[in-house]
Structure formats: C-alpha cells, structure tokens
Chain A
C-alpha cells in the first residue's frame, strides 16, 4: 500500500469519499421527500395528480442516470443557464443532487406504492368510517404502516443511490471513481491495491448497511 503512504494521495481518497457521502445524504433526503409526495399523488383521488405521478415514474425510471446527470450539466446548466453556485465544485454537486433525487424518487415512489398495497383494506375502511379525510387516512393510517413494510426495499434503493453517486463524476466532480482513475493512471504499478482500497471501502460500508436494513425491516415489520 505504498500509494497511500503519500499524504496527497490519501487526501484524494478522502475527498472522493466525502463527496460520495454528501451526495448520498442530500440525494437520500431529496429522493425520500419527492418520492413520498409522488406516491401520495399516485394514490390520490385527483386524476391529474395520478397522471403526473405516473408520468414522472415512467420517464425517470426508464432513463439512464448517466443521461440525466449529463442533461443536468449540459442542458440545465450550460444551455439553460441554471446555476446553483458560483463555485464550480459546489455547482456540480448540486446539479448531481438534483439528478440523483429526481431519478431515485421514481423508485422510492414505486416502493412506497407497493408498501401501500400490503396494508389491509380494513385499515383504510376503518379510517374512513370514523370520518377521516383522504389526507388524514394517508398520513396517519396508511403511510406509517406502509413505511414499515418497505424498509428493506427502501434500504436497497438508498444503497443503490450511494453507488450511483459515483456517476456524478461524469460532470467533473472529483468523487471516488474519478479519484481512483487518477490514482491508477499515476501509479500504474499498484493498480490492485488502489482498486481494493476504493472498492473495499464501498463493500465494508454498504454490505453491513444492507444487513442492517434487513434487521431493521424484520424488527419493525407490522405483525399481522
């Protein structure tokens, strides 16, 4: 592991994973909020809202994330002049967060919708019988139970989000995959140890996270 005896290289590694961490956190928040709103739209009594939710899911779930991130930079920023920050890295970061959020929200929406399907019809009927409105039924009765049923799928979506955040490197952010590429090109004799350091970091963090979500899902499962 000679590469990492040079503090400059360690710095590249740390910076790369800090970007991944920030992208994952901001992307998770954005995707979760947007995804829940979209799921609520898709089960609402208003047809226009349902269509909007369905259109969103069909468009973003079927488009490659690489294309979405590419569009965020070259379309949204370069051509249409949307800029999130004057600092180039900050700007790329926010463009990446937008791309990751709109893409992942489509998957979050579908996961929550399948969770809503696991809630017995009697729950919603009882809520309606005591006079709750659609919004009350959804937020107080259905979503809390649906949320507990979809912890495992949501977990794998957010793990995928963490891995997908490497794609933001396409638009020039020095995240982990770009960092690895630069280190490999500069230290061709230590390719294996560089790859193991980067891939191993993902594996060590994400594999236990996956099992953690599985444990949480079993623990919080609604007993019926």
Chain B
C-alpha cells in the first residue's frame, strides 16, 4: 500500500478548511518553537558574530574541519573494506556444512553484534595494551572496533541474502558439476551481494556515523577536530556542533540517496530476489543503528 492518499480521501471543502487550520496552527507552533530557540540563543549571546565568524575564515576549515573530515573518511573507508571482507568470510562460515566452522563463526557474529561498539573500542584501546605490553594505535583501535561490529552485521545481511537466492540456482550449479566453493563464489555470493546492496550501503552510513565514537578515545576525527578543538579555540561549541552536524548530514544523505538509487536500479533490472511466500509484502529489513 502506498501511503500517499490511501489513508485519507481526496479532501472536500470541509477537509480542506480543516487541513488549512491545522497547517496554520502547527506552523505557528513550529515558528514559536524556533522563535523560542532564537531568543534562548539571543539570551546567551549565541548569535554574536564573533562565534560564527571562524567558519567564514579559511584557516578554521584548513586547520580543523577538513583534517578532521579526512580522518573520519579514512577510518570509515578502511573499516568499510575490512568489514565487507569480514562479513563475507563469516557469512560463508555460518553457512558451512561443517559444524566446527559453522558454530564458531556463529558465536563470533552473535557476540560482536550484541556488544556495544564503545565497549569494544575501550577494550581494544585501553585493555589490549596491557596484554601486548605496547601502546595501541588510536586509528587501528577505531578501525578494528568498527570492523568487528559492522562486519558482523554485514555477515548477517549476506547470510540473509544467500538464503534468499532461489534453491534452483544452487541446484542448477551443482547439476553442471560445480563444487561447493564454486557455487558459493560464482553463484550465490554475487546474487546475494546485488540483492543486499541497499542494506550494505545503509550499513556504511552507520559506519560513518560510528567513526564519531573515535572522539571518545580521542581519535582526531571530525567531532574531535571540528567541534572540540574549534570550540576550545573560539568558545563556540554550539555553532561548531551545528556545522559538524551539517557535514555529517550531507555525507550520509549522499550515501542514503546512493542506496536508494541502487535499490531502484536493482528492482528495475529484475535482479532482486523474488519473494517466495506469495504476494504478501514484507517490511524493509531492520535497520541497525
């Protein structure tokens, strides 16, 4: 069911009048809220030009925000590649015919999905140095944490994708004499990856957002450089947070738009797996945040 205009009739004169009243009332409420925020900011002197001015200066961008953004994207890119590899390895592991591969892979995936990422990063950054007797690189603490968590989530997505490929595909592949590994690598994974592309991209949005956790273990990413350090220099924490939020929103909106485009493209070319259980629509796969 499309949500457009099925829940309500085409508005007649009375409905139109009521909708107009609701529009005005809610509009006034929103404007009042915005005005309240404005006066609150004004009371605290947050509109002072000095607090916003740093963002019109090139040096703020080149010294703080852009290096921070670069570190965020670096960590996200490395972790994305590693997560995909981790996801493929462990999804294949969970689908293995041998219990001594399947069970450990399942335990690893379930464990890292259930443990908060921050706890994992704290363990890697503060705990592992006690075990190895040498300091842990902040960059790799962030990347390994992100990889273990997002890789586990992707492993489940790949597994769901492989299970959604119609049985006939692997049966046909076995019939022409392919081995288990060949069926997985040449038949199942490519189809699963294509069907799961939108899920994979939205998981990458999660990954980009989660790099902000690096701030807590003082990795020099966007939140650390663009908000914490800028605010330490100019005393404008609210303004810096707003600018950083806008940057995150732009990056992630682009990724989300890309995911939407991919899913439309996959659907048009008819490559998405056909649902097996009749015509009942299923809700979108759960988004993991």
Contact = CB atoms under 8 A, between A and B. Distances in A.
B115 A202 contact: yes
Interface stretch (A4-12, A86-94, A146-154): A146-154
Q: Interface majority SS on A: helix, strand, loop or mixed?
A: helix
Q: Interface majority SS on B: helix, strand, loop or mixed?
A: helix
A43 B30 contact: no
B213 A167 contact: yes
Interface in B94-138: 110-111, 114-120, 122-123, 126-128, 130-131
Nearest to A188: B130
B189 interface: no
Contact of A199 (B1, B120, B289): B120
Nearest to A42: B3
A75 B241 contact: yes
A199 B119 contact: yes
B26 interface: yes
Interface stretch (B55-63, B178-186, B248-256): B248-256
Given A58-B253, A80-B41, A150-B283, A166 B116 contact: yes
Contacts of A184: 122-123, 126-127, 130
B163 to A, nearest CB: 15
Contacts of B114: 159, 163, 202-203, 206-207, 210
Interface residues of A, number: 82
B287 A65 contact: no
A117 B2 contact: yes
Given A117-B281, A137-B7, 8 more contacts: A62-B252, A111-B283, A117-B3, A166-B116, A167-B213, A203-B111, A206-B114, A207-B110
Interface of B: 1-3, 6-9, 11, 15, 19, 22-23, 26-27, 30, 40-41, 44, 46, 110-111, 114-120, 122-123, 126-128, 130-131, 205, 209-213, 215-216, 223, 227, 231, 237-238, 241, 244-245, 248-249, 251-253, 256, 280-289
The 4 A-B residue pairs whose C-beta atoms are closest, nearest first, are A64-B212, A62-B252, A163-B116, A153-B286
5 contacts: A62-B205, A67-B227, A137-B8, A177-B122, A191-B127
